[in-house]
């Protein structure tokens, strides 16, 4: 399973990329706002750091405008994935942009039927939002499983990109289900390395090592 980093923080991306934990990056208007930087400038910097796809989101609501914005964003670098919303206009834009050979990430997916349309429109990625479904007492992981089943039934090439990841459990469960990608904030990806028993065991080892009076260096 691929890890995409859901942030526009270039320092956080660089740290994870150095470890081989950044197979791609996803951004959105909220993350650009949080970065406090110009969208074109920061996206170009991220694309230069990362070999994999970097999702940059359009902000238009009409198909023709989305297409125009998508074409401009795609000129930033060869690894740009144009991010469009899962609306009727977004699907129209996806069809045109994917037909031009551009990677397209169809975002804000909340149902299997939406994901089916995205695949048929030629999406490179579809982004179902797990956490936001959990917020309204619907199990977001069920949606990942439904989309995985549909895509496998018909050999769709669109990759399932699980988004709105809130916890380590979301990541591990997506891996079990067979999500192609998860995109998560840096802090969630770092938490994958944490376990209370690891900390407890390390503390015990350090205590015993101190008693030996030895050193390695």
By annotation, the residues acting in catalysis are 83
Q: Give the single-character DSSP code of 211.
A: H
On whether the CB atoms of residues 73 and 56 are closer than 8 A, the answer is yes
211 alpha carbon, distance to own chain's centre: 46
How many whole angstroms from its chain centre is CA 177?
Answer: 16
d(CA 117, CA 64): 19
Query: How far, in Å, are 28, 56, 76, 206, 215 from residue 65 at the CA level?
Result: 17, 15, 18, 60, 65
Coil/strand/helix, residue 138: coil
What is the rounded distance in angstroms from the CA atom of residue 147 to the CA atom of residue 192? 25
Q: Which residue has the tokens 């999702």?
A: 55
Angle 55-171-20 (CA atoms, 0-180°, nearest 5)? 60
CA-only gyration radius of the chain, Å = 20
């Amino acid at each position: 399973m691929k890890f995409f980093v859901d942030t526009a923080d270039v320092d956080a991306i660089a740290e994870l990329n150095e470890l081989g934990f950044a197979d791609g990056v996803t951004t959105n208007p909220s993350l650009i706002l949080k970065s406090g930087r110009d969208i074109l400038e920061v996206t170009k910097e991220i694309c230069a750091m990362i070999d994999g796809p970097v999702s940059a989101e359009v902000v238009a609501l009409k198909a023709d405008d989305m297409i125009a914005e998508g074409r401009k964003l795609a000129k930033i670098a060869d690894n740009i994935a144009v991010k469009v919303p899962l609306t009727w206009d977004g699907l129209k834009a996806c069809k045109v942009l994917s037909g031009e050979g551009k990677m397209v990430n169809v975002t804000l997916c909340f149902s299997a039927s939406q994901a089916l349309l995205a695949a048929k429109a030629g999406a490179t990625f579809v982004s179902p939002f797990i956490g936001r479904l959990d917020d309204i007492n619907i199990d977001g992981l069920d949606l990942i499983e439904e989309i995985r089943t549909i895509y496998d039934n018909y050999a769709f090439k669109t990759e399932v990109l699980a988004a709105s990841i809130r916890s380590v459990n979301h990541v591990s469960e997506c891996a079990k289900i067979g999500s192609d990608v998860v995109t998560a904030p840096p802090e969630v990806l770092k938490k994958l390395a944490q376990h209370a028993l690891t900390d407890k065991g390390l503390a015990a080892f350090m205590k015993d090592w101190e008693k030996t009076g030895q050193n390695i260096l």
